[in-house]
Amino acid sequence: MLTIIRIWENSLYPFITLFNRPPMNARESAWQIILEFEKSNRHLDGLLDHYLRKAELTGKERKFIYNLVSGCVRHKSLLDWKASTFYHGKYKKAFDKLKVILRLALYEIDFLPHIPPHATVNEYVNLGKRLLPRSNVGLINGILRSYLREGKHLNPEKEFKYVETQIAVRYSFPEWLVKRWLSQWDVKFVEEMCAAFNDRPVFDIRINPLKLGAAEFVKNMNSEKINCTASQTFENMFEVTDIQALMSTKMLQQGFFSVQDESGYLAVRLLDPVKGERVLDVCAAPGSKYTAMLEENVTNEVVVALEIDHSRLEKIRENCIRLQLPTGWIVQADARNIPFKKLFDKIIVDAPCSGIGTIQKHPDIKWRRNMEEIFRFQELQLEILSSAAQMLKPGGEIVYSTCTIDSSENEFVIESFLQKNGDRFEIVEPPELFSPFISEKKYIRTFPHLHGMEGAFAAKLKRIKK
C-alpha cells in the first residue's frame, strides 16, 4: 500500500517527496522522476543529476534511467498520442501515473529494440501492479498488447488535417512552437530541424591548449577507450558521444578540457580578442567563453567576467581553478547597469535566452517555454546589449550571441538596437572561416540539421570612430 505525502514546491528529492520508500528498479526510478518533472516543471537536468548522484545505482542502471527519462520527455506527444489511440475514453483525463507508465513502455518498444517487446510489456504490467490501482493493470496490459499488434499502422499524417499538428505529434513539439517555425521556414526545413533536435545528443569538447595538444588528447582518449571525432572547423574541438564516460575520467579535474558546444565557441572566435586588449564577457556564467578567451590570450591586458548571480559567478571561478587559469576579474553586477568607467576594446554579450537551440541536449525546454517568455527575454536582451555597447571604445567591437533560433531574440534585437544606434554602430561581416554559417544579413546562424551543432546566433558590431 502506497503512502502519498505532500510534494513540496521547491523539493529536489523526487524519489523521497513522492513516496515513503525507495524505488525497486530503474524503471520505477524513471517513472518517479518523470512524474516529479510533470508536477514541478523544474529543469530535467537538475532532477536527473540530483537523483543519479544520491541513488545507489550501477553505471548501467544510471544510463538506462537517463535514457528512459530523457527519451520519454523528448517524444512525449508522440507517445501520448499512440497510447490514446488504444484508450477507451478521454485520454487527457487519465491519471498522470498511468500515462507515464504507458509512455515509458511505448518508448522502450519503439526506441530500445534490443529489449524484447513482450518482456517490456511484462515489466510495465508488473510495475503497474506495484504502483497503481488494480483496475489500471488490465488497462496497461490491453493497451500495450494492442499496440504490439496494430501500432505499426499509426500515422499522424492520416489522423490530423493540419500540417502543424502532424509535425507537432510526429516530432513531439508544442503546436504553438511548430506554427511559429512554419512562419519563418518551409515545411521541409522545419521537419528536418525537428528530427535533428530529437536525435540523441553528442557533446563537443574544447581542449585546454595550456595543458596539451590535440594529438596528446586523442592519445589520452584512446587509453580510456572513449571515441572522439575531430572538429572540421576548429583544431582544438572534438565531438564525443559518451560524455558520462569522459566526465568520470581524471582528465576533467586535470583541466584538460571543457564541455562547450561548437556553436558557442564560434562566438568567441568571431570576437577574436588579441594580446593587449581589454575584454569584457557579459552574462559570463558558467564561463565557457570566458575560459576559452583566457586559454588563448593569457597575456591580455585584462579580461573581465560579469555575472549577476553569485552562485553562477562561483562556477566561473571554479572552472578557472580547474583549468589552472588566472581568474582575471570576475565581477558580480547587473549587465543592465555595468559598474565600470574605463572602456573596453572587445565585448561579448552571451545574452540570457529561451535556449530553444539546445533542445537536443535539453528536451524539457520545449515543454517549459512559452511565447510570453520569449518576448520577456527579447526585452531583457535589448536592455543588456544597449548597456554593454556603452562600455565599448570607439573602433571597438561587440559580439551579441544566444543559444536560440528564434528571430525575436536574435535578428529583432540587433535590428532594434541599430535603429536607435545606427549612426554609432555598424555590422561587421564575419571572415571566410565562418562562411558555412553566415546568413544574408551577415549574421552567424547554426542549426542542428544543417551544421551538426546546437541552434545558435551571433552578430558582430563595431563602434564607429568619429
Show which residues are catalytic.
403
Residues 6+ apart with CB under 8 A from 296: 209, 273
C-alpha distances out from residue 463 to 146, 230, 302, 391, 466, Å: 65, 36, 20, 10, 9
**Of 271, 273, 246, which Cα lies nearest the Cα of 258?**
246
Cell numbers at 459, concatenated: 552578430
> Around Cβ 90, how many Cβ atoms within 10 Å?
8
> First vs last Cα of the chain: how many Å apart?
77
Dihedral of CA atoms 247, 326, 275, 254 in degrees, nearest 10, equals: -30
Helices (H), 26-155: 26-40, 44-54, 59-74, 76-85, 96-111, 117-131, 134-150
C-alpha angle 34-38-43 in degrees, rounded to nearest 5: 80
For residue 384, the surrounding DSSP H or E stretch is helix 371-389
Say how far apart CA 173 and CA 170 lie, in whole Å: 8
Buried residues in 282-312 as b, exposed as e (16+ CB within 10 A): bbbbbbbbbbbbbbbbeebeebbbbbbeeee
Q: Which residues of 376-386 are buried (b: 16+ CB within 10 A; e: fewer)?
A: ebbebbbbbbe
Three-state SS for 126-193 is HHHHHHCCHHHHHHHHHHHHHHHHHHHHCCHHHHCCCHHHHHHHHCCCCHHHHHHHHCCCCHHHHHHH
Whether the Cβ atoms of residue 100 and residue 34 lie closer than 8 Å to each other: yes
Write the burial class of residue 408 (CB in 10 Å: 0-12 exposed, 13-18 middle, 19+ buried).
middle
**For residue 286, which phi and psi values (nearest 5 degrees)?**
-85, 5
Say what angle helices 59-74 and 76-85 make with each other, to 10 degrees.
Answer: 70
